[in-house]
Amino acid sequence: MKSNYIQKTLFDLEKFFFVSKDQNINIKSLFITGLARSGTTILLNTLYDTGKFASLKYSDMPFVVCPNIWSKINFVKKGNFKKKIRAHDDGIEFSITSPEAFEEVFWKSQTNLESKNKLLKNNYNEKVIENFKNYLFLVSLKDKKKIYLSKNNNNVERINILSDHLENKFIFILFRKPINQAFSLLKQHKHFTKLQLENSFVLEYMNLLCHNEFGLNHKPLFDKNFKSDFDKNNINYWLDYWIFIYTKVVKFIETKQNLFFLSYENLKMNPEIQLNKISRIIDEKFEFKNSQIFNKYDAEIPYKVDNKKLKIANDLYSFIKNYEI
């Protein structure tokens, strides 16, 4: 695609100007991933606010593949920018200097990422992986920080790539009680479907960023084999999807290094304890500005749930809990 060619060319220019041949590009990196609506954005914001991490931000748009070039001409400077509630209407606030999941633009520019209905398996050859290492270095260089921080739900597909090819990496996989996460996904699916029908730009923007978690552009992760007997407007579709995703993820527990599981529930009830565990795991000291980061109460589920599916999901949730940090 033409846009991918432009993005790839811009990245090559960025690398040419800012990465020397003898540059050590292997930096410490922390990846937050998991199925959407598990607390990934809140954890991203909380860690970024410590001031210890480099991350892609709204101010890096639209040229996120060349952050240093864009920072030289971008009019946005550091300052106190007014925050507003994001489009999800879930109470999470952001400003132009807030971190966000823009990393997928890089992967899209480097690989054949999309099809009409599914996210395809990508061709992660050595060149792409080396370019990704360069990209982490470039984002960190732009922010003048030593640790790269990423939140990307699509990275559940890349656990093997991140674990096998990055040296100093920490991969945190978030998960949540299945029925509550499925309900939250369903609400967002209906919410964004409405927004996208009313305004085509919302759909185009989310497609640009490969934000395919829900809405009209929802595309299942991992592979084309995911099927459900239920419509996407039924909570049982999202329960099926939860089971599908985390069944794939748990296969990495015994085989991959530096993989850590965190539950939404423990982060909600004991945020300081869990955040301090992260600090110890990555061997970095930092202070958290706000540990009261989650709504303490779960909403009632006003839908009929398939009890057999719910039991399968709950059993899987209990299994993953055994490996939580």
pLDDT of residue 115: 44
pLDDT value at 50 more than 80? yes
User: Token pair 């085989």 is at which residue?
Assistant: 255
**Distance separating the N- and C-terminal Cα atoms of the chain:** 42
What pLDDT, in 10s, does the model give residues 271-321? 889 999 999 999 999 888 765 456 656 778 888 999 999 999 999 999 999
As a whole number of angstroms, the distance between CA 268 and CA 274 comes to 9
For 80-99, letters b (16+ CB in 10 Å) and e give eeeeeeeebeeeeebeebbb
pLDDT for the residue 289: 77
- pLDDT number for residue 258: 93
* Interatomic CA distance for residues 205 and 202, integer angstroms: 5
CA distance 46 to 32: 12
119 or 161, higher pLDDT: 161
**Hey, which of 176-180, 208-212, 271-275 has the most confident mean pLDDT?**
176-180
Average pLDDT over residues 148-153: 97
Residue-wise pLDDT for 212-260, tens only, equals 999 999 999 877 678 899 999 999 999 999 999 999 999 999 888 899 9
Three-class secondary structure of residue 132 per DSSP: helix
Residue 164 has pLDDT above 50, yes or no: yes
Residue 239's contacts (CB-CB under 8 Å, 6 or more residues apart) are 178, 179, 182, 305, 306, 309, 310, 313
Task: Please give the Cα distance from 73 to 75 (Å, whole number).
Answer: 6
Q: What is the per-residue pLDDT for 111?
A: 78
pLDDT at 317: 98
pLDDT digits (tens, 9 = 90+) for 69-118: 999 988 766 656 778 778 787 777 778 889 999 999 999 888 764 444 44
% the chain with pLDDT above 70: 91
Angle, CA 81 vertex, CA 75 and CA 84 arms, to 5°: 120
CA separation for the pair 92, 70 (Å, rounded): 27
What is the number of alpha carbons within 13 Å of residue 129 lying toward its C-beta? Answer: 14
Domains detected in the chain? 2-321 (3.40.50)
Cα–Cα distance measured from residue 16 to residue 96, given in angstroms and rounded to the nearest whole number: 27
pLDDT digits (tens, 9 = 90+) for 118-138: 444 456 788 999 999 999 999
HSE of 62, CA atoms in CB hemisphere, 13 A: 7
Can you give the pLDDT at residue 77?
60
Q: What are the start-end ranges of the E strands in the chain?
A: 28-33, 53-54, 84-85, 93-94, 147-151, 169-175, 259-263
Residue 149 vs residues 44, 90, 175, 207, 320: alpha-carbon distances, Å: 8, 23, 19, 23, 24
> What letter does residue 226 receive in the DSSP assignment?
-
β-sheet with 53-54: strand ranges across: 53-54, 147-151, 28-33, 169-175, 259-263
DSSP state of 225: T
pLDDT score for 114: 47
